[in-house]
Amino acid sequence: MDKLSCSASAAPPPDDTCEALAPEALMDDTDRRLLNRIQSDFPISPRPYAQIGQELGIPEKEIIQRMVRLKECGIIRRIGGNFYPRKLGFVSTLCAAKVPQDKLARFAATVNRYPGVTHNYTRENAYNVWFTFIAPSMAKIEANLRDIAAVTGVRDIINLPATNVYKIRAHFDL
């Protein structure tokens, strides 16, 4: 494992006001410091939140409470490891699909069932669903794409394998 990181998305606080507020209204300066700290180099230790708290001068319990609230509100999407697929003997690809609106929900749910899918999102384009796939081989990815097409009826899926990686790390200064 090279690093653990946290992905951020959009928004809500400790009560039902999450959806009513803009993301910037949901966080205070301490939340921003916390999010800046956990984006990269998440501690791999028996008590990572205690270590983060010590670095930031915040009790471990408060760090955990803030993390829970930020997760519940949708600010934090996930906390997990980021791996370099090639270093683990895996391959990765970016896929684009032309999905009719009436098949969008089923297509997304089907794609999301595959453990190698790391991102899945819509765009305003003829190819309106884009997702990344990581697997032990390109043959496995191609088989999974055939399965997705068979289950969903969506046949126009483009497989765009990574040939060179130029940037892997994103860090947002909050």
Residue ranges per structural domain of the chain? 3-82, 85-161
| CA 1/CA 171 separation, integer angstroms | 18
Q: pLDDT tens for residues 86-131? A: 888 999 999 999 999 999 999 999 999 999 998 899 999 999 999 9
Asked if 32 and 174 touch (Cβ cutoff 8 Å), the reply is: yes
* Domain 3-82, CATH number (from 2.40.50.140, 1.10.10.10, 3.10.28.10, 1.10.10.2890): 1.10.10.2890
**pLDDT value, residue 167:** 67
| CA 94/CA 77 separation, integer angstroms | 21
Question: At 168, is the pLDDT very low, low, confident or very high (cuts 50, 70, 90)?
Answer: low
End-to-end CA distance of the chain: 26
CA angle centred on 133, ends 129 and 137, rounded to 5°:
145
Tell me: domain 85-161, CATH 3.40.640.10, correct?
A: no
Q: pLDDT tens for residues 129-164? A: 999 999 999 999 999 999 999 999 999 999 999 887
User: CA nearest 40: which of 72, 99, 81?
Assistant: 81
How far is the CA of 158 from the CAs of 41, 95, 150, in angstroms?
34, 5, 15
